[in-house]
Structure 1
Amino acid sequence: MAFAAINSSRNASTLPVIESTVNQQLPPTHVNYAIIDNAFATDSSLRKRVYDAISASPQHGALFQDIAQYTYRLLQSQSQQQRSQSISDEPAVKKRKLEGNTGAGGAISSTGILHDLKADSPLQFYVQDVSFAVPQRKKLTLEMTAAGGYLRARNQTSKEIEFGIPVKNIQHILCLPVPEKAQRQTNFCIIPKYGDGVTPVLENASVPDQMVFTIADGPAKAAFTGAGQRVESDENGEVLLRRWLNDTVGHTKVIRPDDREFVSATPEAHRKGEKAYHVKAHRGSKDGYLFFLSTGILFGFKKPLVFFSFDNIESVSYTSVLQRTFNLNISTRVDETQEPQEFEFSMIDQADYAGIDAYIKNHQLQDASLAEARRAKKYNVNGGKAAVDGEQNGTEATGAARGGEEEEEEESELQKAQRELEDQEDEEEEDYDPGSEGDSDGSGSSSEEDDDEDEDEDGEEDDEDEDGDQDLVKQELGSEAEDVDEKEL
């Protein structure tokens, strides 16, 4: 008992001294509150208690940060296990669809590289409440990690990374105005390598999904630096993000429409007096917009985007040229060992033909409209009208000429049939035998005279026959015949 009393008194007397010494030796440390927010995002009361504890004991901030980081990793691991379990429990058809989810060009989508998108990496900048259209249609937080690691999208509720693209794999960044909107908006299109919808992908290659997100016109209200400081500036959000991307992605630059490349003949309908840089087109049953840029041609904005860089375009041609619309065919060949691949875009307004044709000629894209292999694909619709409209462009003139040739061929066939019929009638006339009518070509009066002569000759013959009959009767009857005659008289 005495020993216990001595120990308790010693511990009680020395404990305050130890705590005070520790408090003096451990200065307050810097705490990354983003890690704590991610770890306790679903439990706000616990997060508040952690903040209170750090405020009361700043020297334990690093310890709470390590605990939060460990907790976040455990939550991520559990989430991945649950996702894998749910996939394995799905039916076979749906399981194949999830595991074999393919992005543009038939490549494995970004789900296969999500584990490489480090969630706890320091950030260079991030923008909240960004509206994404591809690959998902929802509002997310756009993040750029430090040292140009990843451009990614984070769920604003669960704080999980939804998708992303390694910066080194970004091939094209396009900044394009959104057509047919009352308020001015800009779409940023991020296209990875082998993800342009044209370039063939190696088997089993992992290619991230394309990304399309919209930035509204006006100052950036939810843009932050990597340190979490809000950007207080009147600079347009689109200009700010363009500058950030150009500075971070060094091997490619953001491409915007240029008046020197192409401007639509039809101005923007929803914003009076503003130039339009797109043309409406259809690819099969899918409608979209064609943009003619300094590095290639884009068809968007529905998933998947198709981007034709100049390096991949083999030729451009026009088909189905009508009075109001025409079709644009783009043939691509990425590798000389592969067969060309052709994409047809239909129902393009004739008013934009001159601008598109000038764009093709300025970039020296081969026009294959007159190729021999393509002639059978042209349609002769309203050949006569096409001949008149052909004065406007060479392509329509070619279609009209072809229509004229077909009409000439049809006329020659008709003439040939008519000649054959006339020849047949001539042969029948030559074989005809007039008989008793004679070879004379006399008139109607001569024919009547001939008929009268024939009647006279017949009359004389009848008289002669009657006289002959009377002589025979006399010879046979003799005097009796005379008696008979006298009696009759």
Structure 2
Amino acid sequence: MAAQLDTHTLGLVFQSRPDILAGIQNAADTPARTTLFNDIASFVYERLASAADLGDGPASKRRRVDIAQTQQNGQTESRALPAGSQPAGFNADAAAADPVLLEVKDISVTAPQRKKYDLCFTKNFLYARAPGSSVPVQGIAYAWTDIEHAFYLPVPDKSQAQYNYVLLPRDSYLPTAKQAGTAPSDKQQPLEPLVFTVPATAPKPGSIAGPSAKTAEAVSDTYSNLFHWALTTSLRSAGNHACQLIGSDPKIFHSVARQPHRPNEKAVHVKAFRGSKDGFLFFLPTGILWGFKKPLLFLPLDRIVAVSYTNVLRTTFNMVVELDDNNGRDAIEKEIEFGMLDQEDYQGIDETYVRRHGLADRSMAEQRRAKRELAENGRKGGAAGEQEGGGGGAGDEGEDDGLTELERAQREAEQRLQDEEDEMEEDYDPGSEGDSEGEGGSSEEDEEDDDDEAQGEDDDEEGEEEEEGE
């Protein structure tokens, strides 16, 4: 395959000089020149990164850019490092160089900022920009490959139906433990979750633009249908197949409390406090979400070890969620407490959701953790294993048993539980109330002792008879 220009890196380096970028594109007419221009772009990136680390250079160049370059078949590719290692400026710069495919105007964004913006969809990014502007808003630019969870939820306490879309990039939704002596500048801050609100109506005329606008019009009878299509299509096109757009489901959980604003609609949330902040808990198919005030929290099912209840009063109770903090780059809070839940919802929460998902059973937590780790390992090392001829990352044992990795992990967890039960049975002592048939209560030594005792009794009886005869 002939070498191709790394337009992504070149666009970031020369975004302020489109004339130079156009000249490079015209001059890159041979593989040698194309490779040379790619090497120059990579070198400039490294110098900009070094200047940012040393704190010199103008403010426009003081943004650290982390790019991993890979060479494959003579083609240079740019791969953005994971969210959490990138400052917000990186995504904004990269998104600005990506052509806009679809633009939806005048959308109410509530997080990370509360303001109306135009939402722009590109091949690699989703970002917000102010009306009349041509550049993304700092901190509201997200690579599609960085989005880990996406939700579609009704907005509580509104007389007119409205819906929130919640997009969670990696490292943005678990509560990070407070660490003393750590300055905010010591570590790059990850992107914050994106939350925007849409009404249940159709988009206004003229609010949809871009090359994909005609295709979008076919699914624009409501805002929800438009964004469902746009988000799902963009995630799949960018190769992010792991992220699914999840909605609340009354069959999985709904509150018994009646909504005064929409009495004919089942509430899929409960009111709760996180510290002094009031918010709403949503019990979703993939985990528990608390929103919509910052910092928004999402507790995935595979990270929950157990759920317990405290401060149970006549009308309210508190719920404590214990998390597995054994993976991830940052230390997270191990226990999250939500307060002032209504007693009327206790049964629905405990029986309908907590127990149904095994969240009160620690043995189930081990299975969920095993599944999560296997899924993460599969994402990280799956491609490498295929290139090496399909060698299994967990050894060759059980590869021909016809089971998937997740099924095999569940079987191993069940086997561990069975082994523990067997050990408990082996340790059981039936006491002196009697021997059970065929069970290890009598050994050869015990039988010999019984024989000796019986023989001793016979000798005593014979001695007594001899004394009587004399």
Question: TM-score scaled to structure 1, two decimals?
Answer: 0.51
Decide which of 184, 189, 193 is 2:170's aligned counterpart: 193
* Change in CA separation of 1:300 and 1:272 when aligned onto 2, cut-off 3 Å: same
Deviations 1:427-485 (A, max 9, x none): xxxxxxxxxxxxxxxxxxxxxxxxxxxxxxxxxxxxxxxxxxxxxxxxxxxxxxxxxxx
* Change in CA separation of 1:172 and 1:234 when aligned onto 2, cut-off 3 Å: closer
Whether the aligned pair in 2 keeps the contact of 1:112 and 1:206 (CA below 8 Å) is no
Decide which of 216, 226, 229 is 2:211's aligned counterpart: 226
Verify: 1:138 aligned to 2:138, yes or no.
no
Aligned 1:64-79 pairs, distance under 5 A: none
Deviation at 1:216, TM superposition (A): 1.0
2:355 corresponding residue in structure 1: 361
Deviation at 1:274, TM superposition (A): 1.1
1:327 corresponding residue in structure 2: 318
Where structure 2 has 5 or more consecutive residues not aligned to the other structure, the ranges are 1-14, 24-55, 64-82, 179-185, 363-470
Deviations 1:310-338 (A, max 9, x none): 11111100001111000000111131797
Give the alignment's Cα RMSD to 1 decimal: 3.7
1:245 corresponding residue in structure 2: 231
Deviation at 1:279, TM superposition (A): 0.3
Larger radius of gyration: 1
Whether the aligned pair in 1 keeps the contact of 2:175 and 2:332 (CA below 8 Å) is no
Verify: 1:216 aligned to 2:209, yes or no.
no
Whether the aligned pair in 1 keeps the contact of 2:91 and 2:142 (CA below 8 Å) is no
Aligned 1:51-62 pairs, distance under 5 A: none
SS class of match (1:249): helix
1:235 corresponding residue in structure 2: 221
2:149 corresponding residue in structure 1: 172
Aligned 1:456-467 pairs, distance under 5 A: none
Verify: 1:345 aligned to 2:341, yes or no.
no
Q: Tell me the percent identity.
A: 36
Whether the aligned pair in 2 keeps the contact of 1:313 and 1:365 (CA below 8 Å) is yes
More helix by share: 1
* Cα distance in 2 for residues equivalent to 1:327 and 1:286: 14
Verify: 1:124 aligned to 2:101, yes or no.
yes
* Cα distance in 2 for residues equivalent to 1:302 and 1:145: 28
* Cα distance in 1 for residues equivalent to 2:279 and 2:332: 26
* Change in CA separation of 1:200 and 1:324 when aligned onto 2, cut-off 3 Å: closer
SS class of match (2:337): strand
* Cα distance in 1 for residues equivalent to 2:199 and 2:122: 23
Verify: 1:159 aligned to 2:147, yes or no.
no
Q: How many residues align?
A: 277
Aligned 1:360-399 pairs, distance under 5 A: 360-366=354-360
* Change in CA separation of 1:238 and 1:333 when aligned onto 2, cut-off 3 Å: same
Decide which of 291, 295, 301 is 2:286's aligned counterpart: 295
* Cα distance in 1 for residues equivalent to 2:129 and 2:58: 17
* Change in CA separation of 1:298 and 1:126 when aligned onto 2, cut-off 3 Å: same
Whether the aligned pair in 1 keeps the contact of 2:101 and 2:122 (CA below 8 Å) is yes
* Change in CA separation of 1:360 and 1:233 when aligned onto 2, cut-off 3 Å: closer
2:266 corresponding residue in structure 1: 275
1:32 corresponding residue in structure 2: none
Aligned 1:467-482 pairs, distance under 5 A: none
Deviations 1:22-79 (A, max 9, x none): xxxxxxxxxxxxxxxxx9xxxxxxxxxxxxxxxxxxxxxx99x979xxxxxxxxxxxx
Whether the aligned pair in 2 keeps the contact of 1:186 and 1:216 (CA below 8 Å) is yes
1:311 corresponding residue in structure 2: 302
2:420 corresponding residue in structure 1: none
* Change in CA separation of 1:122 and 1:160 when aligned onto 2, cut-off 3 Å: closer
Deviation at 1:259, TM superposition (A): 1.8
Question: TM-score scaled to structure 2, two decimals?
Answer: 0.53
* Cα distance in 1 for residues equivalent to 2:132 and 2:337: 42
SS class of match (2:295): coil
Deviation at 1:248, TM superposition (A): 1.8
* Change in CA separation of 1:158 and 1:254 when aligned onto 2, cut-off 3 Å: same
Decide which of 100, 122, 125 is 1:150's aligned counterpart: 125
* Cα distance in 2 for residues equivalent to 1:83 and 1:237: 42
Aligned 1:424-443 pairs, distance under 5 A: none
Deviation at 1:109, TM superposition (A): 7.5
Whether the aligned pair in 1 keeps the contact of 2:174 and 2:332 (CA below 8 Å) is no
- More off after superposition, 244-253 vs 203-212: 203-212
* Change in CA separation of 1:248 and 1:107 when aligned onto 2, cut-off 3 Å: closer
Deviations 1:392-418 (A, max 9, x none): xxxxxxxxxxxxxxxxxxxxxxxxxxx
Where structure 1 has 5 or more consecutive residues not aligned to the other structure, the ranges are 1-38, 40-61, 68-80, 89-105, 369-489
Decide which of 262, 284, 288 is 2:253's aligned counterpart: 262
* Change in CA separation of 1:123 and 1:321 when aligned onto 2, cut-off 3 Å: same
SS class of match (2:96): coil
* Cα distance in 1 for residues equivalent to 2:222 and 2:57: 42
Whether the aligned pair in 2 keeps the contact of 1:317 and 1:367 (CA below 8 Å) is no
* Change in CA separation of 1:232 and 1:348 when aligned onto 2, cut-off 3 Å: same
* Cα distance in 1 for residues equivalent to 2:246 and 2:318: 26
Deviations 1:314-370 (A, max 9, x none): 1100001111000000111131797871111000000111110120011110268xx
Whether the aligned pair in 2 keeps the contact of 1:182 and 1:271 (CA below 8 Å) is yes
